[in-house]
Amino acid sequence: MPDTRQRGRFITLEGIDGAGKSTHLPWLKKTLERDGRCVWITREPGGTPLGERLRTMLLHEPMTPVTEALLMFAARREHCEREIWPRLDEGTWIVCDRFTDATFAYQGGGHGVPLETIAALERAALGDFGPDLTLVFDVPVEVGRERLADGRTLDKFEREQGEFFARVREAYLRRARADSRRMRVIDSTLSPAAVRSELAAIVEALVKEAAL
Ligand code: TYD
DSSP 8-state secondary structure symbol assigned to residue 4: -
- For 202, the 3-state DSSP assignment is helix
Please work out whether the CB of residue 17 comes within 6 Å of at least one atom of ligand 1: yes
Please work out whether the CB of residue 106 comes within 6 Å of at least one atom of ligand 1: yes
Q: Alpha-carbon distance 97 to 126, whole Å?
A: 18
Q: Please give the C-alpha separations between residue 170 and each of 136, 144, 199, in angstroms, as whole numbers.
A: 12, 14, 22
Region 14-20 average pLDDT: 95
Q: How far is CA 159 from the centre of its chain?
A: 20
Please work out whether the CB of residue 98 comes within 6 Å of at least one atom of ligand 1: yes
Ligand 1 centroid, distance to 15 Cα (angstroms): 9
pLDDT digits (tens, 9 = 90+) for 74-120: 999 999 999 999 999 999 999 999 999 999 999 999 999 999 999 99
Of the candidates 64, 72, 21, 25, which has an alpha carbon nearest to the alpha carbon of residue 46?
Answer: 72
- The CATH architecture that domain 4-211 belongs to is 3-Layer(aba) Sandwich (3.40)
pLDDT digits (tens, 9 = 90+) for 162-181: 999 999 999 999 999 999 99
